[in-house]
Amino acid sequence: MTSILSNTPHIADFRQGILDENGMHQGFLDPALASLTEDEVRELSDYITYCLDGGVDMPELVECYRTILDDTFQEQLNFMRTKAYRHSTFAEVADSVYFNKEYMTRYMHGLAFTAFIWPNHVEMRRFFLKSLPREKTGHYLEIGPGHGFYFMSAMKQGTFDRFTGVDISKTSVELTRKIVGHHFPKENRPVEIMESDFLQSTVSDGPFDAIVMGEVLEHVERPQDFLARIAGLAGPETHIFITTCVNAPAIDHIYLYRNPDEVTAMINSAGLEVRESYTGAYFGKSLEESRRLNLPINVAYVLEKAR
Amino acid sequence: MNTYDRLTEIFQEIFDNDDVVATPELSAHDVDEWDSLSHIRVIVTVEEAFGIRLSVSEISNLTNVGEMVALIESKG
């Protein structure tokens, strides 16, 4: 931990900024940072540098992460009182989140940081990178790239020759284009980031060679429709990767899965099968405890089209 | 049973740690298991146990158990 802070001053400043506002987070933050690999520390530091170079200063970055913490705290409090998410329709959250540029930008930067701080988000990203085919070519489709981190990572690590992203939020489209442009200023492979509702979008008929959808299902009213469209765009060899969460309230989560079995049942009814999975219990709790106490659980799957 | 005794029961149950005893000076820094989510569990359990409702700003301003007890008793 000491070496991370001394070798990466941006991370040290970011950490101190968070702790100045929320000392209670130290018990969570420090072990999380200490558990990162050298590559992840470098990526986190690079992401902070990228943001700073893009005109977002350190207090703003701290505020982005604090926004996620504060909003999640309020939603978790509501969830424990009511056993339900506060909102259940897209219309209730669309204007205040997805179509609110100021909030969405803050939210997306904050969410990107959780990929390095929240243990389950760290593990899901590792699972994503580990499972992404190294030698598969063809067309990569990502639904809801959000901050663009998975999309950019797929371009870095994958060998696909064409990339398409679809996101309903104009702000997310801009953020993804920006991070891709930053990391791939001379990219020759075709890259298209579309602003559209995936269910209404005019992406090609497929089959795509990879379809990735991270943290989308909990944001939509009918996740089964998204899974069904993915199944329709997939061929027998398509690499499909999705993540979602169970009992995990957030300001814009509207579809509540109450246990991981509900997710897999929906996957199967859409004509998809689980090939590999990751299930992350709440930090410091077993999966059984997390289920019993209705604590957040994160799930990620590598899927294939049912044969 | 006074407020501190009832809080001791709640803390020991939520933190799964029989060594935790509610005292005026006790704070989240003193208990390894006291993270933000367990803090929420404490708040919701306190609300149910004492039949009160706490606002987010009231919760955010708490720095130790003594302040929590004062807040609970002010609502009673």
A28/B contact by beta carbon, under 8 A: yes
Q: What is the pLDDT of residue B7?
A: 97
Contacts 24+ apart (CB under 8 A), A132-136: A132/A157, A132/A158, A132/A210, A132/A239, A132/A241, A133/A158, A133/A159, A133/A210, A133/A239, A134/A158, A134/A159, A135/A159, A136/A160, A136/A209, A136/A210, A136/A239
**Do B44 and A77 make contact, defined as CB atoms within 8 angstroms?**
yes
Cβ atoms of A297 and A291 closer than 8 Å: yes
Q: What is the pLDDT of residue B60?
A: 79
CA B38 to chain A, closest CA, distance in angstroms equals 10
- Interface probe, candidates B37, B53, B55, B61, chain A, greatest A C-beta count within 10 A: B37
Query: Stretch A130-158: mean pLDDT, rounded?
Result: 94
**Do A295 and B43 make contact, defined as CB atoms within 8 angstroms?**
no
Residue A4 pLDDT > 80:
no
Query: Stretch A108-116: mean pLDDT, rounded?
Result: 95
Q: Look up tokens 């199967």; give the residue.
A: A268
Q: What is the pLDDT of residue A7?
A: 86
Bridge partners, A241 (sequence order): A212, A302
Residue A5 pLDDT > 80:
no
One-letter amino acid at A37 equals: T
What is the CATH class of A119-305? alpha beta
Q: How many CB atoms lie within 10 A of CB A282?
A: 23
CA B51 to chain A, closest CA, distance in angstroms equals 13
A4/B contact by beta carbon, under 8 A: no
**Do A27 and B39 make contact, defined as CB atoms within 8 angstroms?**
no
Q: What is the mean pLDDT of chain A?
A: 94
Q: What is the pLDDT of residue A23?
A: 76
**Do A74 and B32 make contact, defined as CB atoms within 8 angstroms?**
no
Cβ atoms of A239 and A132 closer than 8 Å: yes
Cα distance between residue A291 and residue A249, in whole Å: 14
Query: Stretch A68-80: mean pLDDT, rounded?
Result: 93
Nearest residue of B to residue A249, measured between CA atoms: B37
A265/B contact by beta carbon, under 8 A: no
Residue B38 pLDDT > 90:
no
Q: What is the mean pLDDT of chain B?
A: 91
| A84 confidence band (pLDDT: 50, 70, 90) | very high
b or e along B14-47 (b: 16 or more beta carbons within 10 Å of the residue's beta carbon)?
bbeeeebebeeebbbeebeebbbbbbbbbbbbbb
Radius of gyration (C-alpha) of chain A in whole angstroms: 19
Size of interface A-B (CB pairs under 8 A): 41
CA B66 to chain A, closest CA, distance in angstroms equals 17
% of chain B beyond a pLDDT of 90: 66
**Do A28 and B29 make contact, defined as CB atoms within 8 angstroms?**
no
B28/A contact by beta carbon, under 8 A: yes
Domain map (residue ranges) of chain A: 2-86+108-115, 119-305
Query: Stretch B50-54: mean pLDDT, rounded?
Result: 94
Say how many Å lie between the first and final Cα of chain B, rounded. 15
DSSP secondary-structure letter at B61? T
Cβ atoms of A256 and A84 closer than 8 Å: yes
Query: Stretch A253-261: mean pLDDT, rounded?
Result: 97
**Do A76 and B35 make contact, defined as CB atoms within 8 angstroms?**
no
Query: Stretch A169-190: mean pLDDT, rounded?
Result: 95
B6/A contact by beta carbon, under 8 A: no
Residue B22 pLDDT > 90:
yes
DSSP secondary-structure letter at A255? -
pLDDT one-digit tens code per residue, A184-210: 999 999 999 999 999 998 888 889 999
Listed by number, the residues of chain A in 58-77 with a beta carbon closer than 8 Å to a beta carbon of chain B are 69, 73-74, 76-77
Q: What is the pLDDT of residue A205?
A: 80
User: At A276, phi and psi to the nearest 5?
Assistant: -140, 155
CA B36 to chain A, closest CA, distance in angstroms equals 7
Q: What is the pLDDT of residue A59?
A: 97
Residue A24 pLDDT > 80:
no
Residue with more model confidence, A23 or A298: A298
Residue B18 pLDDT > 90:
yes
**Do A283 and B36 make contact, defined as CB atoms within 8 angstroms?**
no
- Interface probe, candidates A77, A86, A247, A285, chain B, greatest B C-beta count within 10 A: A77
| A26 confidence band (pLDDT: 50, 70, 90) | confident
| Complete domains list, chain B, with CATH | 3-75 (1.10.1200.10)
Bridge partners, A234 (sequence order): A208
| A266 confidence band (pLDDT: 50, 70, 90) | very high
Burial category of A1 from C-beta neighbours within 10 Å (exposed 0-12, middle 13-18, buried 19 and up)? exposed
A285/B contact by beta carbon, under 8 A: no
Instruction: Name residues whose C-beta falls within 8 Å of residue A268's C-beta, 6 or more positions apart in sequence.
Output: A274, A306
Cα distance between residue A153 and residue A135, in whole Å: 15
